[in-house]
Amino acid sequence: MTINHLQAYLACNKIFGIVIAKPPVMKKVWISLVFISFTLAGFAMLKPKHQGVAAQTGPDSIVRTTADSLFIDSVNLRLSLKEIPPARSMHQVARFVIGHWAKVFTVIKLQESGADGKNSYLAVEFNNLTGMRMPGNSRPTTAIGKTKTNYAIFSSWYGCMVDFHYYLEHTLTLFRKEHKREPKDEYEVIDFMFGSYNPYSSWKKDIYWLLKNYRFE
């Protein structure tokens, strides 16, 4: 038995509590340990890999998407990504994706692209539900392109929602830097967005009305 064999054996003895034996037995123990190690490694390598379509995950790994569907298992929700769902269903998704400020997304969607079945051209053709412009380098984006007028193009309505989440996180960061606190409510968030997001007073008036009157559930 070589010095290396002896050192390896003594290490195994220390870890596993193997009783020290005479050299011939030590060699057999060493060979057995090596065989077991290679066998276990072989089983690990043979472990089958998932062969299905790998699901993409949304924020907090709660939302799963495939090529044409979205799933939220915790609420047994499944929506098509090929068509724009009802606003209340989108709001249900927004509660997981955007969180506390989900209502901000929903009311802006309703104001910018319309109610159920009356979606705007940007929404129908480019999945742009919120009138989102193509951003610069200040934040991440899920946009896959832009129109000639710099409106963002998304692969699905969910892509638009995630992009709005990125926009809102960036906007809230600016709010915190300026005010040294969190916004008090959705109205204060809209006030902060007003001007840079949309400069028209009628837009702000519509958003306020929706926040007050729209039934989100």
Segments making up each domain of the chain, as ranges: 3-45, 56-213
In this structure, the number of other CB atoms found within 10 A of the CB of residue 155 comes to 14
* CATH topology for the 56-213 domain: Lysozyme (1.10.530)
CA distance 201 to 181: 26
In the chain, which residues have pLDDT < 50? Answer: 1-6, 8-23, 25-27, 29-31, 33-58, 60
Q: Alpha carbon of 37 to those of 13, 21, 32, 42: distances in Å?
A: 15, 21, 9, 9
DSSP 8-state class, residue 149: T
The confidence score (pLDDT) of residue 52 equals: 25
CA distance 143 to 4: 59
What are the pLDDT digits (tens) for 66-122?
A: 999 999 999 999 999 999 999 999 999 999 999 999 999 999 999 999 988 889 999
The confidence score (pLDDT) of residue 61 equals: 58
